Amino acid sequence: MRQTALLDRVSPYLLLMATVLFWSLNWIAGRALRDDLPAYSFALWRWVCASALLLPFAWPHMVRGWPAMRRSWPVMIALGVLGTTFCNVTSYTGLKYTTAVSGSILNSFVPVIIIAISWAFLGQRLRASQWAGVVISLTGVLSIVGRGDPMVILALRFNVGDLWIIASTLLWALYTVCLRWRPADLHPLGLLGANAVVGVVAVLPGYLWSLAQGAYVNWTQPVVVGIVYAGVFPSVVGYIFWNNAVSRVGPNKAGMFMHLLPVFASLLAIAFLDERLHLFHVAGMALIFSGIWLTSRSDSRAAEAGLEN
C-alpha cells in the first residue's frame, strides 16, 4: 500500500484543492470543445485514455482484490456508473448549453446535496458551526455569481444546460457518499481501475447511439490535448486524490471543497482571458475559504464519525 502511505503524508485538504483545480480545468475544456467533442465521445475517450494509463499499475491490485470486489459488486458497479460514466456525460452535455462558470457555480451545491443525502438516508447530523460554514461558503459563491450585485442573483434563470449540470451534481454527490461502502481491503488503484473499466463499458452503448445520431468527433489538436488532459489529471490523479481525502475526512467535509470550483474558474478566466480581479472576487473567495475552514476543523470529528472509516 505504498501509494496510500505516500498520500497519507500529504494534507487531505491539499489533495482536495488540487483535485478541484484539475476538475476546474476540465470544465473549461468541456466548454471550449463542446462543438468538436460530443458528450458521450468525451466521456468514453477520456476514460479509455485513463484506462490505458492506469491499468498497467492497477491490474495487479484488481487481481488481488477480486474477492473483495466480487463480494461488493453492487457498490463497485454503482461507483463506476455514478462517478465515471453518467456524471461525466451529464456535465459535458450541460456544458454544451451553459457556460463553464455557470456549471462550476452549480457544482458548488454538491456539499448541500451530500448533506441532504447523508441526513435522509444515513442519519447524519451536522453541528451548528458546520451548517454555518455551508451558508458562508454559499454566500461567497453567490457574491461571485452576482458580481457583488444581489439583483443579478434574483435575475438568474435556469436553462436546459443548468438542469443537466444539476443532474451531474446529484450523481457526484451520490458517488461521494457511496465511497463509504467501498471494499476496505481494496487498494485505491484497484478501486480506480475497476471504476474505469465499469465506466467504459457503461458509456459504450451511449457512445454508439450518439454516433448513430451523427455526433462525430472533430479530431483536431485541441481535442486530442483535451482528451489526454482529462484522461490523466481529472480522471486518474484527481480521483486518486479525491478518494484518499474522502476516506480520511469524510464526504461532508470533502464536498465543501467543491465551493472552490467557481473560485478557480474565476482565477483561470483572469489568467487566460485577461479579465480583471474585482473586489467581489476577493470577498467571495474570502467567504468560501472561511466556510471551508469552519466545516473542516479538527474538533468536528465527532460529527463525521458515522461516515469515516
Residues 4-47 pLDDT 10s: 567 888 889 999 999 989 988 988 888 889 899 999 999 999 99
What pLDDT does 154 receive? 67
State how far the Cα of 141 lies from the Cα of 257, in Å rounded to an integer: 12
Tell me: the pLDDT tens digits for 107-150? 776 777 777 777 777 766 767 777 787 788 778 777 776 767 77
Please check whether residue 292 is in contact with residue 256, taking contact to mean a CB–CB distance below 8 angstroms: yes
Q: Residue 63 and residue 199: Cα distance in Å, rounded? A: 18
Higher pLDDT: 294 or 48? It is: 48
Length of the chain in terms of residues written: 309
Q: Please report which confidence band the pLDDT of residue 246 belongs to, taking 50, 70 and 90 as the band edges.
A: confident
List, for residues 163-216, the tens digit of each pLDDT value: 898 889 889 888 888 888 888 888 888 988 999 999 999 999 999 999 999 999
Banded model confidence at residue 3, pLDDT cuts 50, 70, 90: low
- 239 Cβ partners below 8 Å, 6+ apart? 83, 192, 195
Q: What cell does 275 get?
A: 479579465
Higher-confidence residue: 304 or 238?
238
Cα–Cα distance for residue pair 20/302, rounded to 1 Å: 26
Instruction: Choose from 46-55, 122-131, 232-241, 246-255 the range with maximum mean pLDDT.
Output: 46-55
Buried b (16+ CB within 10 A) or exposed e, 123-159: ebebbeebeebbebbbebbbbbbbeeeeeeeeeeeee
* Structure confidence at residue 40 (pLDDT): 94
Residue 301: predicted pLDDT: 46
Q: Output the pLDDT for position 303.
A: 40
Integer CA distances (angstroms), 14 to 11, 19, 133, 229, 238, in order:
5, 9, 18, 20, 12
- Model confidence over 59-94: pLDDT tens digits? 999 999 999 999 989 999 999 898 888 899 999 999
* CA–CA gap between residue 304 and residue 302 (Å, rounded): 5
Whether the model pTM is above 0.85: no
> What's the rounded Cα separation, in Å, for the pair 26 and 203?
18
- Please give the pLDDT value at position 294: 75
Write out the DSSP string of 88-119. HHHHHHHHTTS-HHHHHHHGGGHHHHHHHHHH
Q: pLDDT at position 302, please?
A: 42
Give the domain ranges of the chain: 2-304
Average pLDDT over residues 245-266: 80
Whole-number pLDDT of residue 304: 43
Average per-residue pLDDT for the chain: 82
More confident residue, 70 or 162: 70
Residue 275 confidence class, pLDDT cut points 50, 70, 90: low
Contact by Cβ (8 Å): 139, 287: yes
Position 39 scores a pLDDT of 93
Cβ-in-10-Å burial (0-12, 13-18, 19+) of 214 comes to: exposed
| Contacts (Cβ under 8 Å, ≥6 apart) of 253 | 295, 296, 300, 304
Which pLDDT score, from 0 to 100, does residue 238 have?
87
Query: Which three cell numbers, joined as nine digits, stand for 85?
Result: 460514466
- pLDDT at position 194, please? 92
